Chain A
């Protein structure tokens, strides 16, 4: 059926995809209206808004990886991070704004995974924007109901001796997982360890890369 009208095919031989343009939604119109009013009234400027977008876009998982690698190599920092992750990451020099952060440490017996069932709360001010799947209804609904099945689909299969702790980010706190340090990395420098720390390992849906394949 899809290929029976040749005038619907592009020169590449594939069908044209419909444009994804659509009329503005109510909330898109509301955002534009509020933004333009704030600029008109002199509360903020277009330049300030653009600068904030640039600041957010500059945040990325490598910042979290540096935090994790330091926690692996600096026991005092690890203690500080578990005590007050906001203060510890600011002390490292990361501009996390007003974010209230809790660090969750994976061990031999506990595996932490983070979800926001209500919306899309994520430690953006450290890790940058969340992956699209983090905001999907399937991830949000299933992670609190059948976390081990969700983790298995991400390639993480945990032994029965490990307790899974799901953290539903429902209110004012944000969460970053400190994955367990991979075996075979004794004596590694923090900068090298950071290359093993993936975004998913800091959400809890992944594990750090193995040193053999990094």
Chain B
């Protein structure tokens, strides 16, 4: 398996048509695959010229999202996150 590319989801809470779920903001996962480009929904939803953005399927472990409350720490959640919501990150502590 190639090296995992870890990303942190921005922890911002801007208004508007944002497709980044709040429960993932601030969390770190790795890129499962890259898709797109797709138009930025935050612009598209308002009839604006929408910038094409890479869309990344980011995989998070339950442990990294829910911490000690995780049902099964090694189960995972994948979500599609637009590139502008992601910043490179270190791998989270092994769980």
Contacts and interface: CB of A to CB of B under 8 A. Distances in A.
A159 to B, nearest CB: 11
A163 B80 contact: no
Give 7 closest A-B pairs by Cβ, nearest first: A171-B80, A164-B75, A168-B79, A166-B77, A172-B38, A146-B71, A170-B80
B1 to A, nearest CB: 15
Contact of A170 (B21, B69, B74): B21
A100 B77 CA distance: 19
Interface residues of B, number: 24
B66 A145 contact: yes
A59 interface: no
Interface string B64-87: 011001011011111111100000
Contact of B72 (A144, A148, A170, A172): A148
Given A145-B66, A172-B36, A166 B71 contact: no
A173 B72 contact: no
Interface of A: 100, 117-118, 144-149, 163-173
Contacts of B82: 171
B28 interface: no
A127 B1 CA distance: 33
A170 B24 CA distance: 11
B80 A165 contact: no
B71 A170 contact: no
B19 A171 contact: yes
B61 to A, nearest CB: 10
Contacts of A163: 74-76
A173 B19 contact: no
Nearest to A141: B23
Given A165-B76, A168-B77, A171-B80, 17 more contacts: A100-B35, A117-B23, A144-B23, A144-B65, A144-B77, A145-B66, A145-B69, A146-B71, A148-B72, A148-B75, A163-B75, A166-B77, A167-B77, A167-B79, A171-B38, A171-B41, A172-B80
Interface in B34-66: 35-36, 38, 41, 55, 57, 65-66
B43 to A, nearest CB: 14
Given A171-B82, A172-B38, A173-B35, A147 B21 contact: no
18 contacts: A100-B35, A117-B23, A118-B21, A144-B65, A146-B71, A148-B71, A163-B74, A163-B76, A165-B77, A166-B76, A168-B21, A170-B19, A170-B80, A171-B38, A172-B36, A172-B38, A173-B35, A173-B80
Contacts of B65: 144
